Amino acid sequence: MMEKLKKTKPYPIALLTVVVLVSVSLLMALNSVTAPIIEARREAEIQMMLENIFPQMTDFVYQDDLYYIMENDQEAGYAFIAAGSGYGGEMSIIVGLDTDMRIKDISIISHQETPGLGSKIQEEAFTDQFKGLDITQIDLTRDQGQIDAITGATVSSEAVVQAIKEEMEQKLQVID
């Protein structure tokens, strides 16, 4: 009986449907277990980056996609996440602003740039160039800005600059 059933045309379709449904169910269950863990780790990583940018930080409030940095119940600065697309793919950057709306520091959260070339965007030699700059100074030197592009990684450098500049323009409107 089973052999005769296996030879019919609906059997492979029914079997495949059952396998797909079981697989999807297992993936959904696994995702529901791991998603909160992944989110908690991401939040801890962001908090650590905020503490590196604002060493005197005692607390922060996250509102309207903006981190309001507190130091002894006083507003000490702001931070936001800028996203862009570089040579290798998507990148995320956390940007800290002081109360004068100048960049305090930046830190690359994630990127997919070429190791040894575009990955140099996360080195201090590149990121330190942003310190103390206001919105009008954020551009590559070839565009009359203050940021020197990384040799051989102009696309990656430009992606960081554009992501920060575009997001900073939006966040300054929210802060004001």
Model pLDDT for residues 109-130, shown as the tens digit of each residue: 999 888 888 888 999 999 999 9
For 119, residues 6+ apart whose C-beta sits below 8 A from its C-beta are: 111, 113
Residue 46 CB coordination number (10 Å): 19
Predicted confidence at residue 6, as pLDDT, reads 62
pLDDT band at 88 (very low <50, low <70, confident <90, very high): confident
The predicted structure's pLDDT at residue 5: 59
Q: What is the pLDDT of residues 131-153, one digit of tens each?
A: 999 999 999 999 998 999 998 88
pLDDT for the residue 165: 95
Reduce the secondary structure of 6-49 to three states and give it as a string: HCCCHHHHHHHHHHHHHHHHHHHHHHHHHHHHHHHHHHHHHHHH
